[in-house]
Structure 1
Amino acid sequence: MGKVRLQDVASRAGVSMKTVSNVVHDYPHVSEAMRHRVQRAIDELGYRPNVLGRRLATGRTGLLALAFADVSLPYFSELARIVSAAAARRGYRLLLEQTDGTLEGERAVVSSSEAGLVDGVIFQPSVMSSTEIAQHRNDVPLVLLGEGPAPVTVDHVMIDNAAAAAAATTHLLNLGRRRIGFLGHEEQRTSATSKQRLRGYQHALEEAGLTPDLDLLLPSKAVTSADAVVAVSSALDRGLHFDGLVCRDDLAAIGALRALQERGLGVPDDVAVTGWDNISMTSFTHPTLTTIAPDTLSLAETALDLLEERINGHDGMGRHRIVDFTLLARESAPGLPAVLVS
């Protein structure tokens, strides 16, 4: 069967091509009966609108791109689902791009390759400098996510990572822990995310009158639970004592739970553990995981608000927005009820 055309759908439904176009573009004045009739013909024939044709007709494709380093990381896959659903409520479809955390991959996201294909891009960079991002083609609206430095000309949405790390560390301090380690930052090249979280961790210790101990910084070779197991096991092999762990992310925390269990150490009795991201599995670990939960719905909606304003012609300086996070106290570091922090 050849490519299905708009006129094929019109013929099957017994309506005009204009009516089919109105349904495809979701114009509100189309009756529900007519919309159902046309949609049934679209489904039967397998019609797919021509994106480039739509752009020529309306100046829009109805497509947005979401780009980040690694779709296999639970936080990013769960965030993609939330952004996709939020975009769909606004009438957009979402394209997912994985950059592999490489400079080449990130440059492709902000290059002219996106021009004409999508109406805008939401992008969480890992390695590109803010200077280089500022030089991207401004005919493709762009909103940044994450903790890296952002150009003053580009919109940016994030949580306050230093404040969140301080909240997690303070939570452990309030439980009476004094030998608190930080687990999971990169062994080779410390990311902007890890730097901010380490800064909040250090600040909370110093506010409590404690001097940060460099021996209690436990880096990982990679952002995986397996590497966190290695890091914690190696520290215990060296005879290092700690009674609390602030983990860079939930994957590191899950690795810590495994390593401590293998050594016969109880959580939270011997070591209290906090994670970061509130990925879905943290409610089902044993024990359940205390974690920093970014307000990902607010993150998605705020980014889409800013992006739509750019798509509709806003041409001002970059807007930088900080969304809330919650410290969810569960079994791995029980204490006060969940605390919302702005």
Structure 2
Amino acid sequence: MQDVARLANVSTKTVSNVINGNPKATEETKQRVLEAIDLLGYRLNVTARNLRQGRTGQISLAIPELKNPYFGELADLVLEEAKSYGLKVLVQQTNFDREAELAILEGAQALGVDGVIFSPLLLGPADARYFHVDFPLVLIGESVFDVGLDHVSMSNVEAARAATEHLIDIGCRKIALIGSDPDEERGASGLRLRGYKEALTAHGLPVDRTLIAGTDRWHSDKGAAAVSTLLAKDAGIDGIVALNDLLAFGAIHELSRHGRRVPQDVAVVGFDDTEAAGYSLPSLSSVNPGRADIARNSVRFLHERITQSSGAHAAEPPRLYMAPFEVIQRDTTTPEGAQPRA
């Protein structure tokens, strides 16, 4: 760094400002420093810098499962975003285990990470005390209550309502929902159920509890089993809102096995807009919940908390960011392929 400073005719502090993106350096000075860095082949010793700052340069991402494509794709985006901040990511899977989720809140220091991005599912308001941690923590997902932490989430109610209204717009009138418990209120399941009910009510359609099929996991086999149950009731469904894409894939498989055409007989919309949605046969209409925005802002929030943890901004109030969503229409709800419905 001293060699760079001498060549650029600036102080080592100025070189440090340029390397760390400090806006104090003028454009002309910044250019001289960057040219000196290129000429000398200078490379920042990240390990030394982290040790000096009392950091490891590593964060943790704690998610329920990697088997679910949504979380796998989210993890990929978080890794890429963290790279832009010079951070490495340790990915942990809690696997729907309450004790594993509690361990995330208790074990950050033992893992040697500077902060954690955490998607809890099983912790509730009675566990609020566990969230009072002494390391930077950003929450993602929906099963989160007010614990005074930064939170990055998606518009579950509004998105599920839009997905249901999409089916109504193409003529569906007996719309089932798979993946939710009619009595659940908290978490993604309960929020998406609320959006489904709001859409039906707003359009003068009854909320029929027999058309709401719950599942304990959001996997394809559970979606197939839920549709099998609905078909056994001879409910006459002509549309399905699946609470994630895996459930939707299972639903489509089961509909086909029973001779029901998609979308001619039953239109299907999923949630998450995973990569596979565009390549299934038929391709799946799905809600894009803003996964890239969730990854980008969760890493940004955490990085800011890490760098501010000992500074004047450490006591800034918690932030809530709601990612934008979009209903992506594909073959499973293409109006041209569906028959007119009364």
* Counterpart mapping for 1:291-306 below 5 A: 291-306=286-301
> What SS is found at the alignment partner of 1:199?
helix
> Which residue number corresponds to residue 37 of structure 2?
31
The one-letter code matched in structure 2 to 1:317 is P
- The percent identity for this pair of structures is 33
Distance 1:188 1:258, change over 3 A: farther
Q: Distance in 2 between matches of 1:283 and 1:56?
A: 45
Q: Among residues 192, 209, 212, which one is paired with 1:214 in the alignment? A: 209
Is contact 1:187–1:220 with CA below 8 Å preserved after alignment?
Answer: no
Matched, 1:247 2:242: yes
Which secondary structure state, in structure 1, belongs to the residue aligned with residue 145 of structure 2?
coil
Give the residue type in structure 2 aligned to 1:149. Answer: V
Q: Deviations over 1:251-274 (max 9, x none)?
A: 000001101111111111100000
Q: CA RMSD in A?
A: 2.7
**1:131 deviation in Å?**
5.1
Quick check: 1:131–1:151 contact (8 Å CA) kept in 2?
no
Q: Give CA-to-partner distance per residue, 1:79-132, whole Å, 9 cap, x none.
A: 000000000011101110111121110111111443671111100000112452
Consecutive unaligned residues in structure 2, runs of 5 or more = 1-14, 21-32, 309-313, 337-342
Tell me which residue corresponds to 1:283: 278
SS in 1 for 2:210: helix
Q: What is the aligned counterpart of 2:146 among 147, 151, 156?
A: 151
For 1:124 and 1:133, how far apart are their aligned partners in 2?
Answer: 15
Question: Conserved in 1, the CA contact under 8 Å of 2:64 and 2:94?
Answer: yes
Question: Which residue of 2 is the match for residue 18 of structure 1?
Answer: none
Aligned twin of 1:331: 331
Q: Using the alignment, how far apart are the partners of 1:153 and 1:205 within structure 2?
A: 34
Contact 2:125 / 2:145 at 8 angstroms: preserved in 1? yes
Matched, 1:319 2:319: yes
2: CA distance, partners of 1:214 / 1:109: 37
**Of the candidates 54, 57, 61, which is equivalent to residue 62 of structure 1?**
57
Match of residue 5 from structure 1:
none
| CA separation of 1:244 and 1:312: change in aligned 2, threshold 3 A | same
Contact 2:288–2:327 (Cα < 8 Å) also in 1? yes
The aligned length equals 302
TM-score where L is the length of structure 2: 0.81
Q: Is the CA contact 1:181–1:245 (under 8 Å) kept in the aligned structure 2?
A: yes
Q: Distance in 1 between matches of 2:62 and 2:265?
A: 40
Match of 2:103 among 85, 101, 108: 108
Give CA deviations for 1:186-213 in whole Å, capped at 9, x if unaligned: 5997761100000000000000011200
**Kept in 2: contact 1:244–1:273 (CA 8 A):** yes
TM-score of the aligned structures, taking structure 1 as reference length: 0.81
Q: For structure 1, list consecutive stretches of 5 or more residues without a partner in the other structure.
A: 1-21, 43-48, 337-342
CA distance in 1, matches of 2:63, 2:111: 20
2:163 pairs, out of 164, 168, 173, with 168
- Per the alignment, do residues 91 and 326 of structure 1 end up closer, same or farther by CA in structure 2, a change over 3 Å counting? same
In the aligned structure 1, how far is the partner of 2:78 from the partner of 2:108?
22
